[in-house]
Amino acid sequence: EAQVTQNPRYLITVTGKKLTVTCSQNMNHEYMSWYRQDPGLGLRQIYYSMNVEVTDKGDVPEGYKVSRKEKRNFPLILESPSPNQTSLYFCASIQRESSYNSPLHFGNGTRLTVT
């Protein structure tokens, strides 16, 4: 089954404790992206990757890191989480060559709480 898998679904942590949210897709998509969803703000793009070893900042990259060593994986790293990073996070992927008329495939989300 074609899917984007995020882990964990729920995470509660404390300020400053490094964490990683994993994202994996099995569709051989070149493009992957991370979003955060906050009430009244919609989805805002954190980072995206056009292909292996190529990553770019989205609209809200501060406090986050990503890597794209393999095509299928795109982990999101919070080196020193802070309470303002409490949010619902989504990973998504798409085939670049059909991106003009194809939808993003989304994971089911990771709800992160930083205390």
Partner 1 sequence: GDSVTQMEGPVTLSEEAFLTINCTYTATGYPSLFWYVQYPGEGLQLLLKATKADDKGSNKGFEATYRKETTSFHLEKGSVQVSDSAVYFCALSDLGNTGKLIFGQGTTLQVKP
With CB under 8 A as the contact rule, the residue among 13, 20, 22, 45 that binds partner 1 is 45
Q: Which is nearer to partner 1, 18 or 91 (CB)?
A: 91
96 lines the binding site for partner 1 (CB under 8 A): yes
Question: Residue 38: which region, alpha, beta or left (left: phi > 0; alpha: psi -120 to 50)?
Answer: beta
With CB under 8 A as the contact rule, the residue among 19, 20, 22, 50 that binds partner 1 is 50
Task: Show the tokens assigned to 1.
Answer: 């089954």
With CB under 8 A as the contact rule, the residue among 28, 41, 70, 79 that binds partner 1 is 41
With CB under 8 A as the contact rule, the residue among 77, 86, 106, 113 that binds partner 1 is 106
Calpha distance 83→114 (Å, rounded): 5
Q: Is 46 within 8 Å of 76 (Cβ atoms)?
A: yes
